[in-house]
Amino acid sequence: MLLNITTTHYPATDLGYLLHKHPDRFQSVSLAVGKVHIFYPECTEEKATVSILLDIDSVDMVKKAKVKGNEGFALGHYVNDRPYVVSSIMSVALSKAFSSAMNGKCKDKPELIDQKLPIEVEIPTLPAPAGGETLIRNLFEPLGYDVEVERHQLDEKFKEWGDSKYYSVVLKNMVTVKDLLSHLYVLIPALDNDKHYFVSEDEVEKLLKRGEGWLHAHPKKDNITRRYLLNLKSLTREAFSRINEEEGNAESEDEEVNAELKKKKETLHQKRLNLVVEKLLETPAARILDLGCGEGKLIKLLMKHNQFSEIHGMDVSYRELIKAKQNLHFDELAPRLQEKLNLFQGSLTYRDQRLAGFDAAAVVEVIEHMDLNRLKAFERVLFEFAKPNVVVLTTPNKEYNAMFEGMSDDAMRHDDHRFEWTREEFKNWVEKIAENYAYSFEIFPVGDEEVNVGAPSQMVVFKNGN
Amino acid sequence: MEIKIPELSLVVLIGASGSGKSSFAKKHFKETEVLSSDYCRALVSDDENNQKATDDAFDVLNYIAAKRLKNGLLTVIDATNVQKASRNSLVALARKFHCLPVAIVLDLPESVCAERNKNRTDRNLGNHVIRNQRLDLKRSVKKLKLEGFRHIFHFKSEEEINALSNINRDKLYTNKKEETGPFDIIGDVHGCYDELVLLLQKLDYQLDQVEYDNKQFGIQVTPPAGRKAIFLGDLVDRGPASPQVLKLAMSMVNTDSALCVPGNHDVKLYKYLIGKKVQIKHGLQETIEQLATETDEFKREVKEFIYNLRSHYVLDGGKLVVAHAGLIEEMQGRGSGAVRSFCLYGETTGEIDEFGLPVRYNWAKEYRGAAKVIYGHTPVPEAEWFNRTIDIDTGCVFGGKLTALRYPEEELVAIDAKEVYCEPVRPLHVNPLKENSELSSQQLYDDLLNIEDVTGKRIVQTRLRNNITIREENSIAALEVMSRFAINPKWLMYLPPTMSPCGTSTLPDYLEYPEQALNYYRKRGVKNVICEEKHMGSRAVLVVCKDEETALKCFGIEGEGIGICYTRTGRNFFNDAELEKAFLERVSYCLSETGFWKEHNTDWVCLDTELMPWSAKAQALIKDQYASVGAAATVVLPAVNKALEAAKNRGIKDIDAVMQKFTGKEGMMAKYVKAYRQYCWPVKTLLDFKLAPFHILATEGAVYTDKNHLWHMETIAKICQGDPDLFTATPYKLVDFDAEDSVKEAINWWEELTAKGGEGMVVKPLDFITYGKEGILQPAVKCRGKEYLRIIYGPDYDLPENIERLKNRGLSRKRSMAIREFALGVESLERFVKKEPLRRIHESVFGVLALESEVVDPRL
């Protein structure tokens, strides 16, 4: 909403020339969703401050967001922080209001263009939801800014709600105005991982242009690029979000640790999938069912083997299936491969004729996403009615959680996990299934085993008949 | 001349080219009933005469014929059909769909056919073709009966054909749809005369001795007014008095006070009586001995009686089917050997059970038909509904009881056997149709729902609003939410409908005002409405049982406690199992203490409630959205105003309007923060919750949509008194549109409520379900307070420039959704208390969830 730029350069009134904005006038520039006002609360030869004030039309903004293909605007978004913070809209405003300055033009005093000035930037509300103070510092300090940060609580009446994602930030530096504006233009949206409204398609080029001369040397350049562009993801949400009461998942502020954990999980998943394929190849199975196929990672691996004549992927999430279809380039596949592959929506808690008669079913990291009291339905659907000859099933080993640093005892590896089993609990369940439905079984660890806690994940291979 | 054919038959026209089949068909059948091979040739090749297209053409013809027969429609095949092979496949098709093949032979002299052919411009077959066809036909005619045709009509000349004025369609004997009952349907009697008499008396039938004749056999039975008995067969064998039972049943059938379908024992007796060789086993011996003293004349009557029994009946407009051993949907109202055999013997798996008896295949497991099927044949310890079917043979002759089902009341009436007349091979307490379990067959079966019942485009029939269509994209969305997040579907008997706001206010400062809410009903002719305070919490549906035993008995749920509290999308309300348990137990205790269970003759209840505080369930939303906006604005607005002030003091011009606007925003933001804070308080223990029920939805056997809202409020107030620490009674005002004072009072009341920070009120017609000219009316409309709307439409929504634009809102979609969801919600409750199969309840509940994924402005 508000961003103040102050300089103590002498004469400070030069700021007016640099920005092409007369210090004694109240000036407004139209934006897509309101206006930006530019005015000077202070302007003497010793010190000048320019205020950039966003005057966002919230009603209009909501309407435009809807038009932009986001029909499923959840209620929360109508009460929106955008008008009160400094976000990507501020970047757009800066480039609109100060286009000459940003492009390094100054008609009246060209000598000022490359001159570094003592600058202080004050941003009362800067959102940094995933990254917090560390990220703010990591982004600005390498560029020479002296950074002061103060975080605000959510509601003084409800202290137990904790802090908000908003920071009051003061940045001090000796910097040219052109660089200053470029830094702000790129780094503000990079900090805010909320949806980025009203962006145009040439955003990549804009980033390259504004980052010219400094971004390539910035130690966090990858991070900045990724975040800046990530936030451009379209606002499309599906019908799902309207009925899915989101419970919200606060992301860890320590992004670095998160990223590493994520990477670890990725490699583990790859290992797991390879093992599933290996186990399936050890059987004569030709017609395979991938239950909970997600975006089709396992299917991709299975497609490489001629042994598997048919691969049927089922998932309860239609969006995942669309992703899978894209990832597998379904529409471009040769007709014979296309015939081999079948993706469909289904649910593991409903009896389903389509699941009958398969040689093998893979159920990879699926059951832990079901409530324990619904597991019984799944067992009957798979083992009593679908009855594949072979079932390869994996689920996390809870004991291994001790190896993940910073994970509390009762925490689970994923927000949506309803339970995680120890090796003992898993074995008990497997034995019960084997007995009730006349399957034989073998249990395998997935990933490297550690003393006392076992492997990160566990697998069972069931075979029909004792 | 007229001929008769069964109303559902496959009519095969047989005749050479030029014999006039098409004209014949055109004259006697509807255009859509006739499938012509020529036309099918044209469909697949653009040429009626293209002989190369014959195979494809017959594929199409057979496909359409199959669909028509499946749907129970008479079908005429207009093709030469002179060869045995082509007729065979048609007879097989008729058999597959259990309908009768009829042959109509147009056997005209070759000269006539040839002459007609010559006159056709589009086709000219050589005379040899016609000659060959005529030869084929001649060979065929005598064998048609052998091929399986049940009716054969042979026309040998043009005169004969022209003389045929009409083809009458005979109703199938099994079709008695026009008989709507009410009925008293009686299970297998097996010669238990005394029990039958007692049972009929218990059902208020009057029995009198009359002079013996061949109509009433000395006994006259008078049913209660309008009622009729139905015997499900197996009148004879094993028991002590088969001839008396026959006399009574025959008397009733002859005087039109009963219907009777045959059982396998009856049919076997018939075979014996006509001198066929049968095994004198399974109680036939007793019957033969008992008949020994009867006259030959009586035995002739018996023979004729059994011979004339129809395999089954379809009654009451197709809603009821009776058959001795039950009947699958595909066979209902059809006639074939297979249908008759199914009716008499049911299905067996071919296996033999531990008692040496054939294992019955329980056809009812897969039954999904619309008609209810009442049957007997297999003795079971208790009659219980299962997928809309019920076996009421409760083994009287084996020392069980003789059971009758009153229809449509669905009440079971039984008389215990006086003694064990026949020692059962399988002990009577063993139910061969069911696994050994505490649960009913239905509950066991309902353990697993079938995906076919929820996916794709669906049409749900509801009592309140006929057919409701669920679009495929909506069921796709609902399937994911239902599968991933919803509670055990056995609990899920209801999802609440969405609620539309009132029309937009014409007052300058208000988006919503009571006038429009009241007018919605007043304009539609409603006389009385009730205004209930709208609590700002989260919608919660509670299903609470007296104890875990009830959960098992009434819901078939084991080990999940005494109930559940779930959200408007079917999710568990509580994340903390201990807290949930304590909460439900406290509610259940309160219901016991206030005498609710006794008063309503139930062990469970389903309540529609609001559970407060809002922050308990919506914590994430409040923190991420509402409090965040407040936090940001509270920090930044003073800074903005400070900067503007400084600039103004510097003498900057043209700044006043902006200053005024932002100073205003600071004030609005304070109101906004105050607004959301009112609905938040920390929840540490059970008593930090406040529960405000507003509908008593259902209890055992009852849905309370027939009670008005005043009844609901008063009944709920009584419960609330039992535990005022947890329960909150909802304040309300009654409005009588004839008394302007009560209207004003309600408006003032709303002003007061909302001034104190209340969310607003809900206006409902006094009657739960109310109709207007346009059909069913909104079950409720909400009217929200000025301050509350700040958290819906944004802190500065009431700036003149904003409110003006926000007033432009359309309600029609929201309203249509609300009514459809309401109809589905009531439907699911009604189905639940009627103990319908779970799939039928789930279908409605699923529909509500699916409709909720339709796009609508969430601020409404």
A148 and A281: one domain? no
> Minimal Cα distance from B680: which residue of A?
A158
**What are A110-126's pLDDT values in tens digits?**
888 899 999 999 999 99
Interface contact flag, B632 A166, Cβ < 8 Å: yes
**What are B436-445's pLDDT values in tens digits?**
677 788 888 8
Residue B52 pLDDT > 70: yes
A224 and A332: one domain? no
> Minimal Cα distance from A79: which residue of B?
B794
CA B672 remoteness from chain centre: 47
* Contacts with A53 from chain B: Cβ below 8 Å: 640, 643-644, 658
Residue B200 pLDDT > 90: yes
Interface contact flag, B448 A81, Cβ < 8 Å: no
A121 touches chain B (CB under 8 A): no
| Last residue of one domain, picked from the residues B677, B697, B722 | B677
B518 and B598: one domain? yes
A329 and A301: one domain? yes
Q: Is residue B558 part of a domain?
A: yes
CA distances from residue B493 to B279, B601, B606, B825 in whole angstroms, order as listed: 52, 19, 9, 8
The angle formed by the CA atoms of residues A140, A144 and A146, to the nearest 5 degrees, is 70
A220 and A336: one domain? no
B415 and B455: one domain? no
Structural domain for B58, as ranges: 2-170
Number of domains in chain B: 5
Give the whole-number percent of chain B exceeding pLDDT 70. 99
* Contacts with B858 from chain A: Cβ below 8 Å: 73-75, 78, 242
B568 and B552: one domain? yes
Mean pLDDT across B301-321: 95
Chosen for mutation from A63, A243, A379 (greatest number of chain B CBs closer than 10 Å) is: A243
B858 and B803: one domain? no
Residue A236 pLDDT > 90: no
Quickly state the pLDDT bin for A201 (edges 50, 70, 90).
Answer: low
Q: Is residue A358 part of a domain?
A: yes
B796 touches chain A (CB under 8 A): yes
Interface contact flag, A242 B447, Cβ < 8 Å: no
Chosen for mutation from A123, A155, A322, A372 (greatest number of chain B CBs closer than 10 Å) is: A155
CATH number of the domain encompassing residue A275: 3.40.50.150
A95 and A127: one domain? yes
CA distances from residue B113 to B16, B48, B110, B519 in whole angstroms, order as listed: 7, 18, 5, 77
Percentages helix, strand, coil for chain A, rounded to the nearest 5?
40, 25, 35
**What are B565-599's pLDDT values in tens digits?**
999 999 999 988 899 999 999 999 999 999 999 99
Q: Is residue A212 part of a domain?
A: yes
The angle formed by the CA atoms of residues B683, B689 and B690, to the nearest 5 degrees, is 150
**What are B167-187's pLDDT values in tens digits?**
999 888 899 999 998 999 999
| Last residue of one domain, picked from the residues B137, B170, B203 | B170
User: What is the helix (H) or strand (E) element at residue B696, kind and residue range?
Assistant: strand B690-699
A130 touches chain B (CB under 8 A): no
B576 and B515: one domain? yes
CATH number of the domain encompassing residue B272: 3.60.21.10
Q: Which residues contact B849 (CB under 8 A, 6 or more apart)?
A: A243, B478, B481, B482, B486, B495, B569, B570
Residue A233 pLDDT > 50: no
Pairwise CA distance, residues B433 & B448, whole Å = 18
Pairwise CA distance, residues A100 & B36, whole Å = 81
Quickly state the pLDDT bin for B154 (edges 50, 70, 90).
Answer: very high
A34 and A177: one domain? yes
Q: Is residue B64 part of a domain?
A: yes
- ipTM score assigned to the predicted complex: 0.83
Residue B434 pLDDT > 80: no
* Contacts with A55 from chain B: Cβ below 8 Å: 658, 661
B713 and B795: one domain? yes
* Contacts with A81 from chain B: Cβ below 8 Å: 625, 628-629, 632
B256 touches chain A (CB under 8 A): no
Pairwise CA distance, residues B135 & A21, whole Å = 106
Q: Which of B631, B640, B643 shows the shortest C-beta gap to A155?
A: B631
Q: Is residue A104 part of a domain?
A: yes
A316 and A393: one domain? yes
Interface contact flag, B650 A40, Cβ < 8 Å: yes
B residues 550-609 lying closer than 8 A (beta carbon) to A: 559-560, 567, 569, 571
CA distances from residue B262 to A292, A358, B267, B391, B465 in whole angstroms, order as listed: 51, 44, 7, 15, 40
Rounded to a whole number of angstroms, the distance from the CA of A124 to the nearest CA of chain B is 6
CATH number of the domain encompassing residue B93: 3.40.50.300
* Contacts with B437 from chain A: Cβ below 8 Å: none
Residue A247 pLDDT > 50: no
**What are B92-104's pLDDT values in tens digits?**
999 999 998 999 9
Interface contact flag, A243 B482, Cβ < 8 Å: no
* Contacts with B651 from chain A: Cβ below 8 Å: 24
**What are B752-774's pLDDT values in tens digits?**
999 988 999 999 999 999 999 88
Q: Is residue A420 part of a domain?
A: yes
Number of domains in chain A: 2
* Contacts with A292 from chain B: Cβ below 8 Å: none
Q: Is residue B656 part of a domain?
A: yes
- Return the pLDDT at A251: 39
CA distances from residue B580 to B160, B446, B699 in whole angstroms, order as listed: 83, 25, 21
Q: Is residue B630 part of a domain?
A: yes
Interface contact flag, A53 B640, Cβ < 8 Å: yes
A82 touches chain B (CB under 8 A): no
Q: Is residue A249 part of a domain?
A: no
* Contacts with B673 from chain A: Cβ below 8 Å: 155
* Contacts with A385 from chain B: Cβ below 8 Å: 448
Q: Which of B559, B629, B653 shows the shortest C-beta gap to A80?
A: B629
CB B564 within 8 A of CB B491: yes
Quickly state the pLDDT bin for A66 (edges 50, 70, 90).
Answer: low
- Return the pLDDT at B811: 92
- Return the pLDDT at A72: 39
CATH number of the domain encompassing residue B581: 3.30.470.30
A residues 353-392 lying closer than 8 A (beta carbon) to B: 353-354, 369, 373-374, 376-377, 380-381, 385
Chosen for mutation from B484, B614, B671 (greatest number of chain A CBs closer than 10 Å) is: B484
Give the whole-number percent of chain A exceeding pLDDT 70. 86
Mean pLDDT across A6-18: 93
A32 touches chain B (CB under 8 A): no
Interface contact flag, A84 B452, Cβ < 8 Å: no
Residue A407 pLDDT > 90: no
- Return the pLDDT at A246: 42
Count of A-B CB contacts under 8 Å: 221
B852 touches chain A (CB under 8 A): yes
Type of residue at A390: V
Type of residue at B793: Y
- Return the pLDDT at A231: 46
Rounded to a whole number of angstroms, the distance from the CA of A111 to the nearest CA of chain B is 28
Interface contact flag, B477 A239, Cβ < 8 Å: yes
> In whole numbers, what is the pLDDT of chain A averaged over residues?
85
Interface contact flag, A351 B450, Cβ < 8 Å: yes
Kindly report which listed range (B144-148, B429-433, B741-745) carries the lowest average pLDDT score.
B429-433
Mean pLDDT across B23-30: 93
Chosen for mutation from A22, A27, A28, A39 (greatest number of chain B CBs closer than 10 Å) is: A39
Mean pLDDT across A392-402: 92
A262 and A387: one domain? yes
CATH number of the domain encompassing residue A17: 3.30.1610.20
Q: Is residue A207 part of a domain?
A: yes
* Contacts with B683 from chain A: Cβ below 8 Å: none
- Return the pLDDT at B504: 94
Interface contact flag, A152 B635, Cβ < 8 Å: yes
A76 and A210: one domain? yes
A384 and A423: one domain? yes
Type of residue at B321: V
Q: Which of A79, A347, A380 shows the shortest C-beta gap to B791?
A: A79
CB B339 within 8 A of CB B203: no
Q: Is the pTM of this model over 0.90?
A: no
Pairwise CA distance, residues B57 & B44, whole Å = 6
B706 and B779: one domain? yes
For helices B577-593 and B709-722, angle between their N-to-C axes, nearest 10 degrees = 100
B477 and B533: one domain? no
Q: Pull the structure tokens for residue B455.
A: 């996916």
* Contacts with A164 from chain B: Cβ below 8 Å: 627-628, 631-632
Quickly state the pLDDT bin for B51 (edges 50, 70, 90).
Answer: confident
Residue B369 pLDDT > 50: yes
A455 touches chain B (CB under 8 A): no
B residues 810-849 lying closer than 8 A (beta carbon) to A: 849
CB A441 within 8 A of CB A434: yes
Choose among A125, A134, A123: nearest CA to A184. A123
Interface contact flag, A247 B448, Cβ < 8 Å: no
Structural domain for A433, as ranges: 255-464
Q: Is residue A250 part of a domain?
A: no
Q: Strand B219-222 vs strand B206-209: parallel, antiparallel, or unpaired?
A: antiparallel
Q: Which residues contact B446 (CB under 8 A, 6 or more apart)?
A: B490, B556, B837, B838, B839
Q: Which residues contact A332 (CB under 8 A, 6 or more apart)?
A: none
**What are B799-837's pLDDT values in tens digits?**
888 898 889 888 999 999 999 999 999 999 999 999 899
Residue A329 pLDDT > 50: yes
B799 touches chain A (CB under 8 A): no
> Minimal Cα distance from A154: which residue of B?
B631
> In whole numbers, what is the pLDDT of chain B averaged over residues?
92
- Return the pLDDT at A250: 37
A67 touches chain B (CB under 8 A): no
Kindly report which listed range (A372-381, B118-127, B388-397, B811-820) carries the lowest average pLDDT score.
B118-127
Query: How many other C-beta atoms can be found within 10 angstroms of the C-beta atom of residue B275?
Result: 7
- Return the pLDDT at A362: 97
Q: Pull the structure tokens for residue A317.
A: 């999430």
- Return the pLDDT at A334: 87
Per DSSP, what are the bridge partners of residue A392? Answer: A362, A461
Mean pLDDT across B51-66: 92
Quickly state the pLDDT bin for A254 (edges 50, 70, 90).
Answer: very low
Q: Which of B481, B485, B629 shows the shortest C-beta gap to A84?
A: B629
| Last residue of one domain, picked from the residues B408, B434, B460 | B434
B46 and B150: one domain? yes
- Return the pLDDT at A260: 63
| Last residue of one domain, picked from the residues A243, A267, A300 | A243
B244 and B134: one domain? no
A156 and A201: one domain? yes
Q: Is residue B483 part of a domain?
A: yes
| Last residue of one domain, picked from the residues A211, A243, A275 | A243
Q: Is residue B413 part of a domain?
A: yes
B600 and B536: one domain? yes
Q: Is residue B107 part of a domain?
A: yes
Strands of B174-298 (E only): list them.
175-176, 183-186, 206-209, 219-222, 228-231, 258-260
| Last residue of one domain, picked from the residues A182, A216, A243 | A243
Interface contact flag, A376 B633, Cβ < 8 Å: no
Q: Is residue A32 part of a domain?
A: yes
Residue A197 pLDDT > 80: no
Interface contact flag, B632 A164, Cβ < 8 Å: yes
A141 and A289: one domain? no
- Return the pLDDT at A429: 97
Residue A226 pLDDT > 80: no
> Minimal Cα distance from B853: which residue of A?
A239
